[in-house]
A and B are shown apart, each in its own frame.
Chain A
Amino acid sequence: MRGVLGAVLIVLLWEGSARGFALPSYTLPAVSEILGGIWAQRADLLSGGATTLLEALLGYGLGTAIGIALATVITILPWSRTGIMPVVMAVNSVPVAAYSPLVLLWFGIGVSSKIVMVTLAVGFTVFLSALAGFDRVDRRSVDLLRSFGAGQASVLWRLRLPAAMPLIAAGMRVATVRSLIVAIVTEMLGARSGLGWIIYQAVVQIDFVQVWAAIFVASAISLAFFGLIGWVERKVIFWR
């Protein structure tokens, strides 16, 4: 309740200072002005938002699947860890955004380069949290299950996966925001459509209301995605 109050206060403060001090739109446009801008550009923003959302969702799905699969492989086949982990760590030591120009060169400025980047960012986040989750199982619980004749796969399914679920879910929640950020950043470097591309063009054309309009739309999508994953998480991990 207080949170809503805080948000309303901030919006009022924003609107008031933008109108009251008659701030030029390159400093800070009023909220009402931005909302008007969104309405005026709704067709462009809708198609741009759809493109960005598509890239983020596809990359998110791929990244989550790859991340969990890789963590599973490492857990089932312990000997593969020494081979895979150093490579993962080396690739991960570079800030993801630094790969954007390279991936753009490799995959072109179409949709595929954004999906690759999102997959990369989401994949690492989910992989690391899934691995931490699988690893935190009590050694003695594993030994107990093994002594009853359970194989690695069975230990994974019955013990490690349930124990790792909260961590995996936390990683997936963080990854939602990250997927949109990475999609937008990569679009800014070069794209044919998408919110990042709209932002870039608006900056070049010095149209700041439109920059803000695109940011608002991106935030709304991001919030909705975050909320959706959080809701699914509460449904799936009921024991928390």
Chain B
Amino acid sequence: MSGAVALPAPRGAAGLRRAAPVLMGLGRLVLGLGIAAAVWEGAVLGFGIRPEYLPRLSAILSTIAATPEAYAAGFLRTALETLIGFAAGVAVGVLNGVLFLRAPVLRDMLFPVFVVSQTIPVIAFGALVVLWFGNTLLAKAVIAFYLTFFPVTVNTLVGLQSVDPRQMALLRSFGATGRQVLLRLLLPSALPQIFVALRLGASLSLVGAIVGEWFGDTTGLGVILLQAMYTEQVTVMWAAILCAAVLGTGFYALVALAERYLVFWGAEA
């Protein structure tokens, strides 16, 4: 925020001044969305695009409005699967990173296996995971987890390893215990790197949840997509895609917001 030059302002305006950029951003977002909607609507009407390719935005929205419960239920279900898988993936990923830092033997043995495991078309496992865990919410969360934990592991390890050894030595010389070094120095230093992985994981876990639903379920955005494909209802399909976009963007924005607050020193280039 180098452009935000602090202007002399009365004390009471401080809160307003802090809120102003947020409001401006929101305003710009709404304006952008409005323009996008207008362009979409106009392009479909103007170029005469047939509805089996791209229906008008208003048609899609009215489809959602016709049965809002179905979309809301699907949205919530998919969001829950994504969140559980993401949270578990982040927890295991960070733990793995710390473990690998403490036990290099384990790292050398398991890391290549992890790398190989990620070149496996994970989704192919979907069918197996659904079999193992039954047709439950948990099965989809496991797929989302599998996609998330690896990037988090890698970036946690990279972040932890890039800590200046002299800072470690300094803390040690003050008598800090291993846990204190970890909580006060190592993890905070690795946080910017970890957040890079979290942003990636946010998108990946949503893909995992949606694809996981294709292996059989009754609610969820993936289910709506699949059923619309079988019945060739393109408008319903676009409605589900729109919901997925809102979910994906919202989740990504949440992670980015958390990053702004937690990594307030702004280490990301």
Binding site for B on A (CB under 8 A): 2-7, 9-10, 26-27, 86, 90, 93-99, 101-102, 104-106, 177, 180-181, 184-185, 188-189, 195-196, 199-200, 203, 208, 211-212, 214-215, 218-219, 222-223, 226
Contacts and interface: CB of A to CB of B under 8 A. Distances in A.
Given A86-B32, A98-B240, A7 B119 contact: no
A101 B248 contact: no
A97 B36 CA distance: 23
B181 interface: no
B120 A95 contact: no
Contacts of A208: 128, 131
A215 B241 contact: no
Interface residues of B, dominant DSSP:
helix
B207 A93 contact: no
Given A94-B248, A98-B240, A3 B113 contact: yes
Contact of A188 (B131, B206, B214, B228): B214
B119 A177 contact: yes
A102 B214 contact: no
A94 B53 CA distance: 17
Contacts of B228: 101
Interface stretch (B2-10, B11-19, B103-111, B152-160): B103-111
A194 to B, nearest CB: 12
Contacts of A212: 128
Interface stretch (B186-194, B229-237, B260-268): B229-237
Among all A-B residue pairs, the 9 with the closest Cβ atoms: A3-B112, A6-B109, A101-B229, A2-B108, A219-B120, A203-B127, A95-B207, A94-B245, A181-B121
Interface string B193-236: 00000000001001100110011000001100110110010100
B196 to A, nearest CB: 13
Contact of B109 (A5, A102, A184): A5
Interface in B35-72: 36, 52-53
Given A98-B221, A219-B119, 6 more contacts: A9-B109, A97-B210, A98-B244, A185-B123, A188-B123, A218-B124
B116 A7 contact: yes
B109 A2 contact: yes
Contact of B128 (A181, A196, A211): A211
B131 A177 contact: no
B174 interface: no
B120 A222 contact: yes
A103 to B, nearest CB: 10
Nearest to A218: B121
